[in-house]
Amino acid sequence: MSDNNPLKIFARVCAQIGWDKKLSDLSEEEVIGIISNIQIAKGIDKFYDGEEIVRIHFLYSDRSWKGGGDAPF
């Protein structure tokens, strides 16, 4: 797995914050750090099947994307 793989990027951030930290205990700075690193990890479709990504996205989203054009990630 390459170093720019989205899962590796996320794992590095979580390791720095602490895997055992509850989401409710995250500081604003930690949340911003997670989000900014997720944004840097765009291009996930280069590593994973697009249809599977969309399926998982809708499983964990508010389902506000109505399709057409690119998926919102």
* Model pTM score: 0.63
CA–CA separation, 27 vs 12, rounded Å? 17
Would you say 10 and 37 are in contact if contact means Cβ atoms under 8 Å apart?
A: yes
pLDDT band at 67; cut points 50, 70, 90 = low
pLDDT tens digits for 15-59? 999 999 998 999 999 999 988 888 877 778 788 887 888 888 778
Residue ranges of the domains in the chain? Answer: 6-59
Query: Does residue 63 surpass a pLDDT of 60?
Result: yes
Residues 6+ apart with CB under 8 A from 5: 41, 47
